[in-house]
Structure 1
Amino acid sequence: MKLFCLSAFFLWMIMSSLPYANGQRFQKTQTGISANIGEIDVTLEVYSPSIIRVIKMPKGKVLKRNSLSVIQVPEVNPKFKVSNTKHSVFLQTDSLIVEIGLKLGNLTFYKIGSKQKVFEELPGSTILKDCTGADKGDFSISQGFSLKPEECIYGLGQQQNGNLNQRGKTIWLAQGNTKVAIPFFQSTAGYGIFWDNYSPTQFKDSARNTSFTSQVAKGIDYYFMKGNSTDDIVADMRFLTGSAPLLPLWVYGYNQSKERYKTQFELMDVVKQYRKLKVPLDGIIQDWQYWGDNVHWNAMAFDSLTYPRPKRMVDSVHALNAHLFVVAWPGFGPSTPQYKQLEDSNMLMHFDTWPPDAGARVYDVYNPSARDIYWSYLNKGVFSLGVDAWWLDSSEPDHLNEKDTDFDEKTYLGTYRSVRNAFPLEHVGGIYKHQRKVSNDKRVVILTRSAFAGQQRYGANTWSGDVTSDWETFARQIPAGLNFSLTGIPYWNTDIGGFFAGKFTKDGGAQNPAFQELYTRWLQFGTFMPMMRSHGTDIPREIYQFGKPGDRIFNILEKYIKLRYRLLPYLYATAWQVTKNGASIMRPLQSDFAADPNVAEIGNEFLFGKSILVSPVTKPGIQKQKVYLPSGSSWIDFWSGDQLKGGVWVEKKVPLDIMPLYVKAGAILPWGPDVQYATEKRWENLRIRVYPGSDADFVLYEDENDNYDYEKGAYSEIHFHWNDQAKTLRIDNRKGNFPGMLYKRDFDIVLVDKNNCSGPDLSSIVTRKVEYVGKAINIKL
């Protein structure tokens, strides 16, 4: 077994017989430079002025792989300079300088215009070790980096450790229920590192170094990204791995589910109840076993007894102006036609998966022919009925009775061990690509339990898995979602109320006061997640399970669901910035207030878009909650209208109907109409809330609400600018157009203060009412 380790002693022996830098040791290439350092070849490729790819291979070997995550290619003949000294060679772009040490092969990254630099740790931090057994011919790999003690780091997917800052953590990056493994982190020092590997990987941060160590690889392959903010790094990840498509307007509304609706009549009754109660609803979710028994698991066909008229069910949901999600799994029961066809084609993976003892097997998601077969059944049995969205459960996937030899199994791309973490990426991607080929009239919407780098390009919204219904678990979801967002994947949510709620059933279930408090606080948080979705087992979660109109809990739940709909114009515009400019919906305070030294490790608050600070209540029975308001802005209490200075902790009274919300001074919020579903009313009479205290900008985005015509330019943007000193709101010329666009509309302008327009209702004084026909106007307030 060979071990290529860049230890100082090993390389001293090699280098003592070699001359220092000369034309034989490194060379400029079309995309960067390559250098030989003893037994290691190092290649740098320029992907943009701020992104450098690093490849390390044993001497004379070439990396042969097409990344599953990275879809960008390096620039051809990019603008960069190469220079050298006796001991180093340098690659310089407009943003970065990368130094390769010609003695030890270590890399150093320098940010132009800054004293900051990032080192690969030495000695012994680069390891390429021959694999044995089923992975023979590949390598186990490791790379260490030297971080400064004051740096905070974010990312690594979705981890349930309750921390925003991942310094000092050792994390096993392997997909699992409630855990999403993405080998990427970004630092408050202004850079990110994407370790492009799909095998189980240990991330370790210690006082000595920060490292990635992966079980199987073709070689060391990672990307260094320089940025001045978390948004810059996220944008770089999207540049490399794909932009996030815009989801249809309806999916940003409220979505109801439970484990599980057992008949089409039960499912339809839920939609009817919401409409009767006039509580907004846009999505209803059909969970497992609509196909019947476990040997027919995931048959992608509706059981004739419990779902006798599935097409009529879908049409009836649509007639009530709602949309239907249907679950699909990656595994198939042994009595399904999919199982037989995939098994006959050697496209099943033979380890135990859910459900236990049913003989179900997952398909080889890495095989394009297997993905074709999967979609052919899903399309014929489900999508052709008019279903709107997918609930892709177990997408990590479930792996029961796990044995190490299970990972020796060959997939289309190599051993399962070598591609394990990319399972959800390939599974979700197959469905997205196939649906896009069938129709562009309906945007792909995928709710899924796991993710990998690049999955944002597939219309995927990841939920945090089957989490437990308790306060400690609830609190952990906030930093888990923030770190997930900071990997570059913007759409994330949780089961509102937690999945496993069995401990509350003996004391009344949804009528249990303890569960009611937990559920209410969780739903308040859910109002400000990228997707608002109630789900769980043991206790049904429909709003009418908690009481009737006029009851305290019912009224609070209704209040926040309706608040979500008031915020739809703001949220849809934020989602457009995600698609167009690589922005994020859930944002740590660090994203916008990095100059404030107090925010870097605050993981129990976040920004919803750029303007709203959210502080979920994650402890039972409390009467007040401390909230930090970042410096660099003043803040307006959403509920009272009081203006508060930043850089201070405040105490907010939190009766059960109040979750602390603060709007940044210098914000413009469009306030949507009172509706029962997202598209019930046009936005022809929008209320525009102006929160004074600083200048503000906002771009109102509109399109046809579904389909992909926006990709062809069928959308409009209206730019609002608030000049705080002049107390003037400017509405610019409308840009763009689309079929059915409003050419004439009213804007009710409201200047917010403590006496006007606090809270979610519209009982406020309109400061100015203006008619807008697409031409620029200035409004003095």
Structure 2
Amino acid sequence: MIHSTIRRMLAWALAGVALAAAGPALAREPSAIGQSAHELPVALDAAGQLKQLVVESRAGFGWLRVAGGVQFQTGGMTKNVLFYGSGIVRVSAHKGESHTRQPSLVVVASPQESQLDVEESADALTIAGAGLRVIVDKSTGTVAFQRLDGTPLVREQDAPVLTPAAEPSGTETYAVEQRFALTPDESLYGLGQYNEPYMDYRGRDVLMVQTNIGIVVPFMVSTRRYGLLWDTYSKMTFSDGPRGAVFRAENAPAGVDYYLVAGDTMDGVIAGYRHLTGAAPMFPKYAFGLFMSKERYATQQRLLEVVRRFRRERFPLDVIVQDWQYWGGQKDGQWDGNWSGMIWDPERYPDPAGMVRTLHEDLHTRLMVSIWPSVGNDTALAGELDARGLRFEPLHWISGRARIYDAFSDEGRAIYFKHAKKGLFDIGVDALWMDGTEVEVGGAAHDPAEVEADIKRLGRNAMGDFGRYLNIYSLLTTRGIYEGHRASADLADRRVFTLTRSAWAGQQRHAALPWSGDTTAGWAALRAQIAGGLNVSMAGLPYWTQDVGGFFVNAPGGERDPAYRELFARWNQFGVFNPVYRIHGTSIEREPWVFKALEPEVYRSIRRAAELRYRLLPYIYSLAWASTHDGYTMMRGLAMDFPDQPALRRVDDTYMFGPAFLVQPITRPMFHAELPPPPTVPAAQLRTSDGRPGLELEYYRGTEFEEFASRTIDTQAEHHWPGPPLDGVPPGLAGLQNFSARWRGQIIAAEDGEHEIGVEGDDGFRVWLDDELVVDEWKESGARFAGARMLLRKGQAVRVRIDYFQKGGGRSMRLAWRTPGERHALEEHQRQLDPRQATLLPAGTDWYDFWTGQRHAGGASAARRYAIDEFPLFVRAGSIVPLGPLVQHVDEKPDAPYEVRIYPGADGRFTLYDDDGETYAYENGEYATVALAWDDARRALRIGARKGSFPGMVGQRTLNVRLMPSAPGDRAQIRTVRFHGEPIELQFTP
């Protein structure tokens, strides 16, 4: 055998000779033909020796066979077509020179030397391989993709456009564009999450830049059962219009580089994506229970108190989450330098190891802990990174004493993991929450342009310019945790589970899932979460989650507001049908029992939904195995199961959860109208104490009016600093953090009747009306409105005083009101609320209402009234749904009976899966499956023989098989069997 390095050099030399025979242009850059890297694939025979690369050509068009495919040159462009498996083809193109030899950071598969049939005609070169036929137009170099039976999939509409460019460092690169011709009847999904209420990208424009609330995954799937993976890491856009669909990339050093994946089903397409980019490992079983999180539990004592309360309430819980600042915080108004140093503040967390032991041994609860890529300057972690130049110079916005570590460096990732292990994993922490991984540097985390600028200001990383690597920080930093964990002898057999605020193609192989970032509560936000989560799943990532209830809550009174409580209950119902179920956010108290005293019906709704989640654990855990083993997708847009029903293509609020459940979260108020933001008090209604227009405004340095800065007349009490009426920093202030302000004057009533007067602000504020303190929101928090009601006469003057402070982050203050006329309009809107909801049921099957058992024909709408503890949830006929016992955590009652529900009306199958729930022994075959099959015509259920085993497996289990009634007046039939692992057939009467 030839040493690999020498072998590659010989291959390059041999390829150069071969390319030269085809023409000078082909010989310029043989290294551009790629495997999973942008490198020449080495063709070896069975003995490991170099094969001869055969050059073939006809007049005006040269091509040659390479390992896994074909290279050709036309119109000054060098293109490669390489097969990576059945139905998977890579297409790359450049102008004779690739400006990188960097292996792909996304694709882990290599070209396969399968049998290729190549035919050349006067006009075209046709390459037929496993599952696909690729046709090259010899005059333009464009390629078209077909199934082997000639069915067209998609084609390049134009030759790629490659524009030479240069990075800030001077390194050469390309800006690229590739246009595709689509068929009129196809729909497109995937690409990640962009805080929009739609899923189908036909006719849409997408800016692909990571943000706090935006997740970029450059894989798109079509209802024609193909997908496109774009292997470029810079800022990108996708647009679909009259001239076709086009991908553009700002910085693509290897030129155009994409993969087409075809399958018989959309599941097959996504399985092909996972073949390319890596399978998703099994999460630990606890990951499918409830995560309770908030911003934040401030002490060890408080965290334990919350978990103990869960256990007293017998409300199920598996994971408690410790958010930021457990490492320290602020002293004398300044952040300390311990930010995300993987250390614990000894005053507030005096015994973190003991805390974890109590959680594990006494309370049967796991601990997830937040970490950030920004590392405080005073930490040992920062010192070790800085000694090797592995932190970037720009300061992180929140503390001014932290910098981002270089996750593009192998050494940087190893150092970061070492400290995470020492400070967190070694004391028993179960999972990490990697926040800010888009990567967040400045404070404008929601604006793509500002996030892009912040990231680019980081300059260069260990791999190159940040313009080239704009979007993939999350992929690299999660890689460091996963690989470090798996390589650690004392951690290697504990499954990795990582939550991140960003994602990229291939990140699923690191056992990392994204959540949708710091959303702001509202019905429109809930609606957008559904579409966004589905498009993340359809971009190939099997797991996604979000903040139940919204991260920021602007409702007046927070959890005390009935309208918000209704929203929370509906959001929670959506959360239980996410792959991972999390309650999280700031602004309010949101532990479930908080709602018990406020509104028992809402508490009952939250509890009923959570208990359903826990009963569904055998179903969900089996779907997780299908995701790992088969490339399955748990949370499924309707197009995945019904791609040929055009009426469903743009249904963005309804989805399948596994093969059985049709879920439609309620995304509008039925009982309490959502209040729009109150209007700003008009300038004409404001007077100073001496009768001039406006209010008197004083600025102070410090958040408690410590030092007077300046005085002015504010003609309109509405500010979003920096911005009008001031374009910069108010006079006398050093900046736009850590200041306070005071407004004084009069408000003139606009109408007779009851007015609601208050402030919408971020951060803290107090309001006095006629010298009475009526609003006290003196706390650091996001934007929200709080006000008080007063009965006034038109023209009546009300004395007003507003105190306000700004700490950091968002900066806004607005004096607002609701006049009697506006309040009347809201009351009329309340009277028009409708508690009915209609659900469009896919055709081709019958559906059962999960709550009532009523059977409906597909292809029509089912409508009824829904109480606060129910929502549209239907089960497909032919479904087999295994249900477990009601438990307080996933490990309770491991040998309890299962209920197996059968919904008749069609044949059905389901594979029940189990393993130890903790280790990677399943990778060595230590797991068990049981195939369940329902024969609808015979009304018989076959329970197959158990296949496989694992230590600790429950050898015998009682199964209560329930055949659901299929017509009004029917009764459920129940058969109880003791399953020992041998096959059983159960017969039910007609």
Q: TM-score w.r.t. structure 2 length?
A: 0.74
Amino acid at match of 1:376: K
8 Å CA contact 1:20–1:86 kept in 2: the answer is: no
Aligned with residue 207 of structure 2, among 143, 166, 172: 172
Give the 3-state SS of the residue equivalent to 1:134 in structure 2: coil
Distance in 1 (alpha carbons) for counterparts of 2:304 and 2:220: 44
Which residue does 1:275 correspond to in 2? Answer: 311
Question: Are 1:685 and 2:737 matched, yes or no?
Answer: no
Question: Are 1:774 and 2:816 matched, yes or no?
Answer: no
Q: Following TM superposition, by how much is the alpha carbon of 1:20 offset from its aligned partner in structure 2, in angstroms? A: 8.6
Amino acid at match of 2:367: L
Which residue does 2:107 correspond to in 1? Answer: 70
Question: Are 1:397 and 2:431 matched, yes or no?
Answer: no
Please list, as runs of the form range in 1=range in 2, the aligned pairs for 1:442-453 lying within 5 A after superposition: 442-453=494-505
Question: Are 1:488 and 2:540 matched, yes or no?
Answer: yes
Question: Are 1:346 and 2:396 matched, yes or no?
Answer: no
Cα distance, 1:565–1:756 mapped onto 2, change above 3 Å: farther
Distance in 1 (alpha carbons) for counterparts of 2:854 and 2:146: 45
Cα-to-partner distance string for 1:238-285 (whole Å, 9 max, x where unaligned): 000000111111110111000000001110011000000001000000
8 Å CA contact 2:99–2:172 kept in 1: the answer is: no
Which residue does 1:336 correspond to in 2? Answer: 379
Q: Following TM superposition, by how much is the alpha carbon of 1:363 offset from its aligned partner in structure 2, in angstroms? A: 0.6
Which residue does 1:430 correspond to in 2? Answer: 480
8 Å CA contact 1:299–1:336 kept in 2: the answer is: yes
Q: Following TM superposition, by how much is the alpha carbon of 1:382 offset from its aligned partner in structure 2, in angstroms? A: 0.9
Question: Are 1:665 and 2:877 matched, yes or no?
Answer: yes
Q: Following TM superposition, by how much is the alpha carbon of 1:359 offset from its aligned partner in structure 2, in angstroms? A: 3.1
Aligned with residue 320 of structure 1, among 352, 363, 366: 363
Which residue does 1:748 correspond to in 2? Answer: 960
Q: Following TM superposition, by how much is the alpha carbon of 1:530 offset from its aligned partner in structure 2, in angstroms? A: 0.4
Distance in 2 (alpha carbons) for counterparts of 1:408 and 1:447: 24
Please list, as runs of the form range in 1=range in 2, the aligned pairs for 1:121-520 lying within 5 A after superposition: 121-122=157-158, 125-131=160-166, 133-219=168-254, 220-293=256-329, 294=335, 295-318=337-360, 319-355=362-398, 357-400=399-442, 402=450, 403=453, 406-407=456-457, 409-438=459-488, 439-501=491-553, 503-504=554-555, 506-507=556-557, 509-520=558-569
Give the 3-state SS of the residue equivalent to 1:447 in structure 2: strand
8 Å CA contact 1:190–1:228 kept in 2: the answer is: yes
Q: Following TM superposition, by how much is the alpha carbon of 1:652 offset from its aligned partner in structure 2, in angstroms? A: 2.7
Amino acid at match of 1:41: T
Amino acid at match of 1:779: L
Give the 3-state SS of the residue equivalent to 1:27 in structure 2: strand
Cα distance, 1:132–1:542 mapped onto 2, change above 3 Å: closer
Report which stretch shifted further, 375-384 or 91-100: 91-100
Distance in 1 (alpha carbons) for counterparts of 2:457 and 2:271: 34
8 Å CA contact 1:116–1:189 kept in 2: the answer is: no
Report which stretch shifted further, 545-554 or 158-167: 545-554
Cα-to-partner distance string for 1:211-247 (whole Å, 9 max, x where unaligned): 1111112221110111232211111110000001111
8 Å CA contact 2:294–2:583 kept in 1: the answer is: yes
Q: Structure 1: where are the runs of 5+ without partners?
A: 1-13, 759-763
Aligned with residue 80 of structure 1, among 82, 97, 116: 116
8 Å CA contact 2:90–2:258 kept in 1: the answer is: yes
8 Å CA contact 1:268–1:317 kept in 2: the answer is: yes
Please list, as runs of the form range in 1=range in 2, the aligned pairs for 1:24-35 lying within 5 A after superposition: 25-35=62-72
Cα-to-partner distance string for 1:142-183 (whole Å, 9 max, x where unaligned): 211111222210011112121110111221111110101122
Distance in 1 (alpha carbons) for counterparts of 2:551 and 2:426: 30
Report which stretch shifted further, 644-653 or 487-496: 644-653
Amino acid at match of 1:231: D
Give the 3-state SS of the residue equivalent to 1:351 in structure 2: strand
Amino acid at match of 2:373: P
Give the 3-state SS of the residue equivalent to 1:154 in structure 2: strand
Cα-to-partner distance string for 1:589-645 (whole Å, 9 max, x where unaligned): 111122322111111001111110000000012401111110111011101111111
Please list, as runs of the form range in 1=range in 2, the aligned pairs for 1:569-718 lying within 5 A after superposition: 569-621=618-670, 622-718=834-930
Amino acid at match of 2:344: F
Amino acid at match of 2:532: A
Amino acid at match of 1:773: H
Distance in 1 (alpha carbons) for counterparts of 2:343 and 2:650: 48
Cα distance, 1:739–1:548 mapped onto 2, change above 3 Å: farther
Give the 3-state SS of the residue equivalent to 1:718 in structure 2: strand
Cα distance, 1:354–1:384 mapped onto 2, change above 3 Å: farther
Amino acid at match of 2:560: Q
Give the 3-state SS of the residue equivalent to 1:558 in structure 2: helix
Distance in 2 (alpha carbons) for counterparts of 1:588 and 1:89: 37
Q: Following TM superposition, by how much is the alpha carbon of 1:21 offset from its aligned partner in structure 2, in angstroms? A: 3.1
Amino acid at match of 1:433: E
Distance in 1 (alpha carbons) for counterparts of 2:122 and 2:99: 27
Amino acid at match of 2:110: V
8 Å CA contact 1:21–1:88 kept in 2: the answer is: no
Please list, as runs of the form range in 1=range in 2, the aligned pairs for 1:32-47 lying within 5 A after superposition: 32-47=69-84
Amino acid at match of 2:464: G
8 Å CA contact 1:717–1:736 kept in 2: the answer is: yes
Give the 3-state SS of the residue equivalent to 1:274 in structure 2: helix
Cα-to-partner distance string for 1:195-222 (whole Å, 9 max, x where unaligned): 1001111111111121111111222111
Q: Following TM superposition, by how much is the alpha carbon of 1:61 offset from its aligned partner in structure 2, in angstroms? A: 4.9
Cα distance, 1:727–1:365 mapped onto 2, change above 3 Å: same
Which residue does 2:42 correspond to in 1? Answer: none
8 Å CA contact 1:131–1:140 kept in 2: the answer is: no
Aligned with residue 88 of structure 2, among 33, 51, 61: 51
Give the 3-state SS of the residue equivalent to 1:421 in structure 2: coil
Higher relative contact order (CA 8 A, sep 6+): 1
Distance in 1 (alpha carbons) for counterparts of 2:290 and 2:456: 40
Q: Aligned-residue CA RMSD in angstroms? A: 2.1
Cα distance, 1:550–1:221 mapped onto 2, change above 3 Å: closer
Report which stretch shifted further, 168-177 or 563-572: 168-177
Q: Following TM superposition, by how much is the alpha carbon of 1:99 offset from its aligned partner in structure 2, in angstroms? A: 1.6
Cα distance, 1:62–1:555 mapped onto 2, change above 3 Å: closer
Distance in 2 (alpha carbons) for counterparts of 1:756 and 1:774: 36
Q: Following TM superposition, by how much is the alpha carbon of 1:135 offset from its aligned partner in structure 2, in angstroms? A: 4.8
